[in-house]
Amino acid sequence: MLIEIIKGLSVPFIGTTLGAFCVFFLKNELGKGMQKALTGFAAGVMIAASIWSLLLPAIEQGASLGVWRFIPAAIGFWIGILFLMAIDYFAPPECIEGEQKDNLLLAVTLHNIPEGMAVGVIYAGLLNHADHITAMGAFSLALGIAIQNFPEGAIISMPLCTKGMSKRKAFIYGVLSGAVEPVASLFTVWAASLVVPVLPYFLSFAAGAMIYVVVEELVPKMSVGETTNIGIFMFAIGFSLMMILDVALG
């Protein structure tokens, strides 16, 4: 069990690292069309993961708490939304927008936290033998987030390189942007394991936080300007792939 948890918590970080490694063999910054495609794909993966890996298990487990089973999922979802909204409200605008290269790492790091929490909480449920959470289902969530982290690592490191940063330093920045995920995962496993009865709230909290990131950050990026169809098309592919992974492996 311990090996499975360590493997699952590491997979998303490996995805970011491999994406950042692209800076060593791709010469130019990714084109706008490619960025929209990768952003749409990431959004689809995160939405599907939020539904099948987090919200549906939260609803099923809510029945064991002696309340209407949708209540923990709804409450946790809203707490997740408001938590990320508070981060965006109180953090300096330049850190959230990430327009300056010095602030890009912080911007991405803030928005990687809910992904790490999502992986952590699903493995906390597996560790505590929660219903409707299997080892393959938990791994499918980790794998899905790793898939969306790959293009994210490239999108971070390559623009830094084209703006004058060395490839080695840009790679390190890309890797560091994903380092928060295993930290957030470990913290969430520890916290959720202490209070097992509120696990449905943790699951839906992570779902709300991830959906906020999609709506506030990813969807606008994939929809702005021309050629928006590529973003929508890749969103559908990412959503379908994550749904298939979760249902087939879970």
Residue pLDDT, tens place only, 232-244: 999 999 899 888 8
In a domain, 198, yes or no: yes
The closest of 151, 54, 147 to 108, measured between CA atoms, is 151
Q: How far is CA 4 from CA 24, 114, 136, 139, in A?
A: 31, 21, 10, 8
Domain assignment of residue 71, yes or no: yes
Could you tell me if residue 39 is inside a domain? no
Average pLDDT, the chain: 82
pTM of the model: 0.81
Helix (H) or strand (E) holding 218: none
Count of domains forming the chain: 1
Please tell me which residue, 151 or 76, carries the higher pLDDT value. Answer: 76
- Is residue 242 in some structural domain? yes
Indicate if the pLDDT at residue 88 is higher than 70: yes
Residue 163 lies in a domain: yes
Banded pLDDT at 208 (limits 50, 70, 90): very high
Q: Is the pLDDT of residue 98 over 50?
A: no
Residue in 178, 70, 192 with CA at minimum distance from that of residue 121: 192
Please tell me the predicted confidence (pLDDT) of residue 93.
Answer: 57
For residues 211-222, give the mean pLDDT. Answer: 87
Domain residues for 184?
1-20+45-93+103-249
For 167-210, give the DSSP string: HHHHHHHHHHHHHHHHHHHHHHHHHHHHTGGGHHHHHHHHHHHH
- CA count, 13 A, side-chain hemisphere, 177: 33
Residue 56 lies in a domain: yes
Asked if the structure places residue 25 within a domain, the reply is no
pLDDT-above-70 percentage for the chain: 88
